[in-house]
Amino acid sequence: MKLLEGKNALIFGVANDHSIAWGIAQAMHAHGAKLAFSYAGPVLERRVLPLAEKVNAAFAEQCDVTQDDQIEAIFTKTAETWGRIDILVHAIAFAERDELMGAYYETSRAGFHLAMDVSVFSLTALARAALPLMTDGGSVMTLTSYGGDKAMPNYNVMGVAKAALEASTRYLAADMGPHGVRVNAISAGPLRTLSAAGVSGFKLLYRHYPEVVPLRRQISLEDVGGAAVWLASDLSSAVTGEVLFVDAGYNILGAPHPMAVE
Ligand code: NAP
């Protein structure tokens, strides 16, 4: 049974075929959604356009989410192409590499602003721009991480950004609910992507993850894609402002399994 037949999805954050946004795109395509993509900059065009073709995307256009005119342009293009959208996927984050190692108190003012602008404010800017096109209601979703709830080594300013992103999710959900638009966040466990490679020590966390988590395995792009399809579909029609963990159970633990610390 296809859950997203007749729905139009605009997806931000595909950098390559390891991106979480690509996992979500494939799952939504399999469930019958029509897709369009936005990617960060010209260097990504070579990698994103062939992926967009694979899922018969309506278009794939550049948009740096720190630029208001580029946001306006992509939503104008979307309005001209479809008139209406049902699903907005925000899978975007950025912080300078040297902010993702060492002590959080060393975070620079400029690094803090950049991480907040790209990783947090962009959700608000994109959701605001999407709202007039969600004429039949809609589902907005973003990607967060447990580092927004608890202090994690080296995650630093990105953890603070994720906490603000989750708060933004709740405020947007409260504002947009009366318009029939739901806003949720997926808190994903570790996946080997370009962004993840920027966090110092990520490989170690990734390697030991299956020893620690209740399900004793890594999570996959398919796991996140499945959750995203559910959030986009009418099956989750009364779910809004939530953070949905797709982490094989990591967040429920108070201490690691004894085998993991032997
Ligand atoms: P990814 O493939 O590197 O995707 C991140 C995307 O954000 C890239 O397409 C990147 O483009 C884009 N981006 C950065 N700055 C941008 C800007 N100014 N304008 C527009 N786009 C911009 O990594 P990912 O892991 O799939 O990340 C997707 C989301 O999942 C992020 O919010 C991340 O924090 C979250 N997440 C990841 C994990 C994990 O373990 N991988 C776990 C939990 C949550 P460029 O490549 O050009 O910078």
- Dump pLDDT digits (tens) for 186-238: 999 999 999 999 999 999 999 999 999 999 999 999 999 999 999 999 999 99
Length of the chain: 262
- Find the residues whose C-beta lies inside 6 A of ligand 1: 13-15, 19-21, 40-41, 44, 64-66, 91-94, 118, 143-145, 188, 190-191, 193-196
- The pLDDT assigned to 38 comes to 96
- The pLDDT assigned to 256 comes to 79
Distance, CA 92 to ligand 1 centroid (Å)? Answer: 4
- The pLDDT assigned to 262 comes to 65
Residue 105 CB: number of other CB atoms within 10 A? 6
Q: How far, in Å, CA of 252 to CA of 227, rounded?
A: 18
Q: Spell out the domains of the chain, with CATH numbers in brackets.
A: 8-246 (3.40.50.720)
Q: For residues 246 and 219, is the Cβ–Cβ distance under 8 A?
A: yes
- The pLDDT assigned to 44 comes to 80
Q: How far, in Å, CA of 213 to CA of 255, rounded?
A: 10
Q: With a cut of 70, which residues of the chain have pLDDT below it?
A: 260-262
Ligand 1: which residue has its CA nearest to atom 16? 40
Distance, CA 12 to ligand 1 centroid (Å)? Answer: 9
Q: For residues 35 and 25, is the Cβ–Cβ distance under 8 A?
A: yes
Helical segments of the chain, H only: 20-30, 45-54, 68-81, 109-116, 122-130, 156-176, 194-197, 202-212, 221-232, 258-261
Say if residue 53 is exposed, middle or buried (CB neighbours under 10 Å; 0-12, 13-18, 19+): exposed
What phi and psi values does residue 61 have, to the nearest 5 degrees? -130, 150
Quick one: which atom of ligand 1 is closest to the CA of 43?
47
Catalytic positions are: 155, 162
The residue among 112, 83, 92, 117 whose CA lies nearest residue 100 is 112
What is the percent of the chain with per-residue pLDDT over 90, rounded to a whole number? 94
Residue 164 CB: number of other CB atoms within 10 A? 18
Q: How far, in Å, CA of 136 to CA of 150, rounded?
A: 37
Distance, CA 64 to ligand 1 centroid (Å)? Answer: 12
- The pLDDT assigned to 179 comes to 98
Report the Cα–Cα distance between both ends of the chain, in Å, rounded: 45
Ligand 1: which residue has its CA nearest to atom 5? 92
